[in-house]
């Protein structure tokens, strides 16, 4: 670790007006006045103004440059707070019974819903639609393959009349306008 040095800057002057509200003791006032008077009086107003403006910047820079960065592996390898089990909460009998009753109701409702004729009808319809959609997609790809002359539905070895009949049959089957 390197050491840092602090730049010594002249202090700004403080002036205290005599009043009854000032809580400083006379000894403190004398000490402060002697510090102010012993200060080099050759500083001009502009250098004092520059000092007032640059002092916060110098302090910020000093703090940033002298602080040590955190090391990346500081907590690596530790399991973390998630692995520590939390405290055992008190069990409330009323809430446990309420939870058990709700779980039974939910299980009964789920069983009734799964055995409902409406759900079975919708599942059957979904299976039929899935098969129908799969066949429609296959027919569309077959039509495309026949038109392009590639794939299983290629009309490559057919005569021009057979090819036109085959493609028109596929278009009719898929519902594509001719």
Output the tens digit of pLDDT for each of the chain's 178 residues.
Answer: 444 444 444 554 444 444 444 445 555 555 555 555 554 444 445 566 776 778 788 888 777 777 665 555 666 666 667 778 888 888 899 999 999 999 999 999 999 999 999 999 999 999 999 999 999 999 899 998 888 888 888 888 888 899 899 889 988 888 877 6
If you compute the radius of gyration of the chain from its CA atoms, what whole number of angstroms results? Answer: 45
Burial 113-123 (b: 16+ CB within 10 A, else e): eeeeeeeeeee
Displacement of CA 150 from its chain's centroid (Å): 48
Domain locations along the chain: 126-178
pTM score of the predicted model: 0.35
């Amino acid at each position: 670790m390197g050491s840092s040095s602090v730049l010594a800057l002249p202090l700004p002057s403080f002036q205290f007006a005599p009043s009854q509200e000032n809580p400083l003791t006379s000894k403190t006032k004398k000490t402060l006045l002697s510090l102010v008077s012993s200060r080099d009086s050759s500083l001009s107003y502009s250098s004092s103004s520059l000092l007032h403006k640059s002092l916060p910047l110098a302090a910020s820079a000093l703090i940033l440059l002298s602080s040590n960065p955190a090391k990346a592996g500081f907590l690596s390898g530790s399991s973390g707070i998630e692995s520590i089990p939390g405290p055992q909460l008190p069990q409330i009998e009323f809430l446990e019974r309420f939870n058990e009753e709700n779980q039974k109701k939910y299980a009964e409702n789920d069983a009734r819903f799964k055995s409902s004729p409406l759900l079975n009808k919708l599942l059957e319809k979904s299976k039929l639609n899935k098969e129908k959609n799969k066949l429609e997609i296959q027919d569309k790809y077959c039509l495309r393959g026949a038109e392009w002359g590639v794939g299983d539905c290629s009309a490559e070895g057919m005569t021009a009349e057979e090819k036109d009949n085959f493609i028109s049959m596929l278009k009719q089957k898929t519902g594509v306008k001719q």
